[in-house]
């Protein structure tokens, strides 16, 4: 099981920006005169995009396919496999658009395309909101191409990713306790998450994340306004 490096850049996004990428993908599909009859959204990252594309393209047939690949922000498995298959007959004889949030290696969406084609679908095309230059797979439609690798924190998994990121920086910095400002400092040092970037994308949410980490037993109070990793 491969691990990400201790220090890597992150980009934090918001709903408005991602909604705009959904619109861009839909515009590409219309310009190409492709008229899918069903959207297959890869769980979990493709759900928001899948629903938006149905709205933009006037579709009411949406199904989901779960691929097992990533495990949080710290680990990823090898080849993606199908964990939760689609309902029987959900794409049979239909033209399909497969959508995911991002292609990193491209393994997940490539495997999903092959899986859908094997279910007797009509024409199958693929789309991602974002495409990293590390991807070996080229989707038919792309909202945005990213030249430099970064871990993208989406609004639908903001707390999930921030719990992982903050836990990681606390382990790496190896202090006895941390204030919120110190945690912001380490997020910038290790992951290039600047305070202003985070506050523009997800304003006033660090206290919420810290409270949730405490509720989950990830961290505990270490004095007024200070936190440490729970033992």
Residues 6 or more apart in contact with residue 182 via CB below 8 angstroms? 173, 175
**Cross-strand bridge partners of residue 132:** 146
pLDDT bucket at 1, cuts 50 / 70 / 90:
very low
Grade residue 2 by pLDDT with cuts at 50, 70 and 90: very low
Question: What pLDDT does 67 receive?
Answer: 80
The residue ranges of DSSP E strands in 18-95, in sequence order, are: 38-43, 62-71, 75-84
Alpha-carbon span 228 to 68, nearest angstrom: 32
Q: Residue 68: its pLDDT value, please?
A: 76
SS3 call for 95: coil
**Residue 23 contacts residue 141 (beta carbons within 8 Å):** no
pLDDT tens digits along 119-150: 999 999 999 999 999 999 999 999 999 998 89
The CATH architecture that domain 8-151 belongs to is 3-Layer(aba) Sandwich (3.40)
pLDDT band at 81 (very low <50, low <70, confident <90, very high): confident
pLDDT in tens, 21-73: 999 999 999 999 999 999 999 999 999 999 999 999 999 999 999 887 555 55
Mean pLDDT rounded to a whole number for the chain: 92
Tell me: the pLDDT tens digits for 102-115? 999 999 999 999 99
Query: Against a cut of 0.75, is the pTM above it?
Result: yes
196-221: average pLDDT: 97
Confidence (pLDDT) at 72: 52
Q: In the chain, what are the domain boundaries?
A: 8-151, 157-216
């Amino acid at each position: 099981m491969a691990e990400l490096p201790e220090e890597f850049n992150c980009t934090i996004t918001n709903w408005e920006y991602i909604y705009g990428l959904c619109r861009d993908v839909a515009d590409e599909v219309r310009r190409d005169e492709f008229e899918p009859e069903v959207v297959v959204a890869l769980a979990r990252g493709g759900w928001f995009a899948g629903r938006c594309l149905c709205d933009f393209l006037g579709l009411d047939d949406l199904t989901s396919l779960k691929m097992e690949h990533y495990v949080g922000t710290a680990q990823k498995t090898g080849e993606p496999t199908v964990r939760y298959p689609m309902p029987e007959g959900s794409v049979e004889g239909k033209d399909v658009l497969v959508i995911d949030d991002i292609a990193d290696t491209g393994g997940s969406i490539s495997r999903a395309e092959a899986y859908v084609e094997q279910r007797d679908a009509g024409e199958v095309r693929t789309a991602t909101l974002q495409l990293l230059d590390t991807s070996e797979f080229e989707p038919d439609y792309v909202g945005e191409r990213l030249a430099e690798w970064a871990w993208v924190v989406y609004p639908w998994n903001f707390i999930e990713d921030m719990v992982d990121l903050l836990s990681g920086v606390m382990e790496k910095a190896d202090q006895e306790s941390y204030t919120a400002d110190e945690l912001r400092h380490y997020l910038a040092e290790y992951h290039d998450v600047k305070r202003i970037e985070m506050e523009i994308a997800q304003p006033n949410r660090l206290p919420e994340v810290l409270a949730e980490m405490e509720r989950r037993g990830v961290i505990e109070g270490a004095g007024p306004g200070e936190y440490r990793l729970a033992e």
